[in-house]
Amino acid sequence: MARVLRGCVSFFLAVVCVTGSIACHASAPETSAAAFILMEAESGRILASRNETQERSIASTTKIMTCLVALEHSELTDQVTVRREHLREGSSMYLFEGETLTMEELLYGLMLPSGNDAAECIAAYCGGSGGSAQFVGWMNDKAKALGMEHTSFANPSGLDEQGHCSCALDMARLAAYAMQDPTFTRIVSTRTASVGSRTMTNHNKLLASYSGCIGLKTGYTGDAGRTLVTCAERGGMRLIAVTLHDGSDWADHTALYDYGFAACHRACGAKKGARYGQIEAGGAAVTAVAKESFFYPVLEGEALSARAALPETVALPVKKGQTLGELVIRCNGTEVGRVALVSAGNVEAPAKQAQKEKKKTPLAERLWNFFAA
Residues 163 and 46 in one domain: yes
Q: How confident is the model at residue 90 (pLDDT cuts 50, 70, 90)?
A: confident
Does any domain span residue 40? yes
pLDDT (tens digit per residue) in 37-81: 999 999 999 999 999 999 999 999 999 999 999 999 999 999 999
The values of phi and psi at residue 196, to 5°, are 60, -125
Least confident of 63-67, 112-116, 314-318, 369-373: 369-373
pTM equals 0.84
Does any domain span residue 296? yes
Residues 201 and 276 in one domain: no
Q: How confident is the model at residue 365 (pLDDT cuts 50, 70, 90)?
A: low
Residues 335 and 212 in one domain: no
C-alpha dihedral, 55 to 57 to 58 to 60, nearest 10°: 160
Burial 14-53 (b: 16+ CB within 10 A, else e): bebebeeebeeeeebeebebbbbbbbbbbbebebbbebbe
Average pLDDT of the chain to the nearest whole number: 89
Does any domain span residue 25? no
Q: How many domains does one find in the chain? A: 2
Does any domain span residue 373? no
CATH (domain of 298)? 2.60.410.10
Domain extent for 137: 32-247
pLDDT at 21 over 70: no
Residues 101 and 142 in one domain: yes
**Is the sign of the CA dihedral 317, 320, 321, 327 positive or negative?**
positive
How far is residue 155's CA from residue 137's CA, in Å, rounded to a whole number? Answer: 9
Cβ pair 113, 187 in contact under 8 A: no
What does the pLDDT read at residue 86?
A: 87
Does any domain span residue 98? yes
Residues 72 and 162 in one domain: yes
pLDDT at 23 over 50: no
Least confident of 34-43, 247-256, 340-349, 356-365: 356-365
Residues 177 and 215 in one domain: yes
Residues 334 and 221 in one domain: no
Does any domain span residue 138? yes
Residues 88 and 235 in one domain: yes
Q: Which distant-in-sequence residues (6+ apart) come within 8 Å of 118 by Cβ? A: 92, 93, 95, 106, 107, 109, 110
Cite the active site residues.
60, 63, 114
pLDDT at 238 over 50: yes
Does any domain span residue 116? yes
What does the pLDDT read at residue 368?
A: 57
Q: How confident is the model at residue 7 (pLDDT cuts 50, 70, 90)?
A: very low
How far is residue 203's CA from residue 357's CA, in Å, rounded to a whole number? Answer: 70
Residues 241 and 308 in one domain: no
